[in-house]
Structure 1
């Protein structure tokens, strides 16, 4: 017994020595330097809180960041990593552990959740080192600079992306960042802020993206349409060739951004994407909105923007600029609340708020930057007394909506509606049966554990659903029954298909979203 204890004690001492040597400093849970609460689409799908409530760790090397991730009890244990100094290839190495999956020469946030990385002190600079987020959820990156990440030449990191997200990523809030390159693809650089392969519920706010050939994309190809629900607000895009951003499929909300010196094309909505573009300021730029370099159309809704010295190309087979007099060709409903600064003040507001080490200020929606509240004990934690509608309802399901990316079918569908509309994350689309009753199902290729369902009715049809039964379609077992829409709970069940059978209604039901959750 004594020998076992001694071995464990010496092992702990060795781990602590290694963490100190690599630049990790542990502290008790305390107020983080992170400020504010997530905005935009990052507030949806259960919200984005990062490492709130977890231990705070100070890191001065990339290896130390990996050590902090690997030192957690599990891959989902909350942690706040405060970063100070320069992170580079010389101090960023792979670390192994049960709660991490890291690699050399890149900050790897892979197969993890509930993490905040925030720059503190004199600032955090990721120099030629990219941040890679993969198979992860509930991530906050705040108040850091990422610069000169290359995909070719030497050294290389993260495929040339400053921040790259791919493969089943959910709920990321990137805030008060400076993302910059020193040229385009010919010089070895790629995107500054990229999302691929089923990445959803992301917000980029109060950030500077500059001096790059490519600002960022949503979707790796015309067929990669599994991404979306991305908000871009109060950012500066400056001296960039294209992709500010490029949207392939999905929904993007672009508001109160300042675009300056965009050389080739700006917001490129294509392959069925829909962009809502509100109160932005575009100046000294070319083709700042439209569908470019493809014949697969995208769509946009425009409101309150200012176009100052913007030039437009003539339409062609693969060129469909929105200007010179941009008009909406779709509508996009936004599910969260937000305040719009007038477009005329956007350049000054963004100048005073955006970027790392710029005071972490935010706009109040009235063209007036506000300092963060120094008395906030932990601004990442939701205030239980805050009536802000962006705060998640405590009765709402928590976790990933399993219906996104699943399949769906039903007994019938009314004209103009679709089974797929109940799993697209868009409250403006819906399914209706061909009569007053019918069934709709969510299905997966393999057995999936579900214990909670949220039935959300389309606007104007609330209260139309009468009685219903929720059925395991594989066994025909009735999981539960009731009446009305809303959250439905039942014992955790592994199944491949779950069916909502509407047995009575007060009219024609219109189901906008049929959400499913493991817990």
Structure 2
């Protein structure tokens, strides 16, 4: 199988731009803010370009990431932050400035726009340190690993979410990331990819989500239905108990994802949510699609999916599985163009392309 490799991000280091900060931060000429272009719903509502056209800096600590945000002319000045090394509690502190609103103990992207965070070199690992996006727009996060973020125990960060978004968030593209935990809520972890409180136009692509009780939610309660227009494609969900994702209201599109060992439930469409589920491969899993743990149902449109060793519960008042022979209960038209890989090819394609450190490879449509 041949894969198309996106061109590597290149820029020559020029001068030391920010001194006396923890971690090396250097200035380079303006360049493309990310490798490749946004896909899915992140292309809508004006599109998602991150820090394209702005300054590029290098950061090796969380403090340096915050310093780069705070060193901009304004909170909307475009910037690409190249990140290399391990970012953790020991090297992440609050930085103040007119163009930022940061905090210690997490990477805080609050009340800002036009930012790309791009893992480079030997890799960028956010270790026990979550990324929080709040009241922000036009953000790209690419080629990073976020692992073992806890909401209880020590240390804690970001409410236990690897990447979390809340309150009036727009146009986010998260691509080629690895998001992982080491257990469920009992072990102190929460969601890997959570969206709530009016978050819209988001794409999660070519990423790996694994070893967690909760993959992610869209909407924090049955009455919090302001979140919508989310695309999930070419991702691998592995050893997840539930929420791949949990949808409360809104519209989401899942295509060409590989779901392996969903232990309790998978795509949970409820509270009127509508999920378009195309050409995915579900394997060794239980109740991969339906309405679960509520009597407030959601809906789905299905086509081209493969169900390999999937088991289904009997329907009841609180559980309405879509299987064993899933049929569409709604129709959904998405406003963007996309190409579907055949479901039979999805495990191979996703294994070669998804996650951080994969060379930012994408599918070329063949298997």
Question: TM-score, length-normalised on structure 2?
Answer: 0.95
The CA deviation at 1:364 is 2.2
- In 1, Cα distance between equivalents of 2:68 and 2:314: 53
Q: Which residue of 2 aligns with 1:138?
A: 138
Q: Which residue of 2 aligns with 1:56?
A: 56
- In 1, Cα distance between equivalents of 2:92 and 2:338: 38
Larger radius of gyration: 1
Q: Which residue of 1 aligns with 2:171?
A: 171
- In 2, Cα distance between equivalents of 1:209 and 1:267: 14
Q: Is the 8 A contact 1:119 1:143 kept in 2?
A: yes
Question: Which secondary structure state, in structure 2, belongs to the residue aligned with residue 189 of structure 1?
Answer: coil
- In 2, Cα distance between equivalents of 1:198 and 1:227: 5
Q: Which residue of 2 aligns with 1:289?
A: 289
Residues 327-476 of structure 1: matches in 2 within 5 Å? 327-367=327-367
The CA deviation at 1:257 is 0.1
Residues 43-442 of structure 1: matches in 2 within 5 Å? 43-367=43-367
Worse-matched range after superposition: 96-105 or 357-366 = 357-366
Cα offsets for 1:257-298 (capped at 9, x unmatched): 000000000000000000000000001000000000000000
Q: Which residue of 2 aligns with 1:17?
A: 19
- In 2, Cα distance between equivalents of 1:365 and 1:189: 36
Cα offsets for 1:29-88 (capped at 9, x unmatched): 2355x3110000000000000000000000000000000000000000000000000000
Q: Is the 8 A contact 2:31 2:52 kept in 1?
A: no
- In 2, Cα distance between equivalents of 1:84 and 1:25: 12
Q: Which residue of 1 aligns with 2:31?
A: 30
Q: Which residue of 1 aligns with 2:39?
A: 39
| Count of aligned pairs | 352
Cα offsets for 1:223-268 (capped at 9, x unmatched): 0100010000000000000000000000000000000000000000
- In 1, Cα distance between equivalents of 2:277 and 2:31: 39
Question: Which secondary structure state, in structure 1, belongs to the residue aligned with residue 19 of structure 2?
Answer: helix
Question: Which secondary structure state, in structure 2, belongs to the residue aligned with residue 18 of structure 1?
Answer: coil
Q: Is the 8 A contact 1:340 1:366 kept in 2?
A: no
Question: Which secondary structure state, in structure 2, belongs to the residue aligned with residue 66 of structure 1?
Answer: helix
Q: Is the 8 A contact 2:219 2:227 kept in 1?
A: yes
- In 1, Cα distance between equivalents of 2:152 and 2:210: 19
- In 1, Cα distance between equivalents of 2:26 and 2:162: 26
Q: Which residue of 2 aligns with 1:376?
A: none
Greater RCO (Cα-Cα under 8 Å, separation 6 or more): 2
The CA deviation at 1:201 is 0.1
The CA deviation at 1:359 is 1.2
Q: Is the 8 A contact 1:166 1:198 kept in 2?
A: yes
Q: Which residue of 1 aligns with 2:10?
A: none
Question: Which secondary structure state, in structure 1, belongs to the residue aligned with residue 154 of structure 2?
Answer: coil
Root-mean-square deviation (CA, aligned residues, Å) is 1.1
Q: Which residue of 2 aligns with 1:443?
A: none
The CA deviation at 1:26 is 2.1
Question: Which secondary structure state, in structure 1, belongs to the residue aligned with residue 261 of structure 2?
Answer: strand
Question: Runs ≥4 in structure 1, deviation > 3 angstroms?
Answer: none
- In 2, Cα distance between equivalents of 1:16 and 1:279: 47
- In 2, Cα distance between equivalents of 1:93 and 1:206: 30
- In 1, Cα distance between equivalents of 2:170 and 2:301: 25
- In 1, Cα distance between equivalents of 2:19 and 2:124: 23
Question: Which secondary structure state, in structure 2, belongs to the residue aligned with residue 17 of structure 1?
Answer: coil
Question: Which secondary structure state, in structure 2, belongs to the residue aligned with residue 349 of structure 1?
Answer: helix
Q: Is the 8 A contact 1:164 1:195 kept in 2?
A: yes
Q: Is the 8 A contact 2:214 2:242 kept in 1?
A: yes
- In 2, Cα distance between equivalents of 1:267 and 1:22: 40
Q: Which residue of 1 aligns with 2:3?
A: none
- In 1, Cα distance between equivalents of 2:158 and 2:256: 29
Q: Is the 8 A contact 1:339 1:364 kept in 2?
A: no
- In 2, Cα distance between equivalents of 1:17 and 1:321: 57
The CA deviation at 1:356 is 0.1
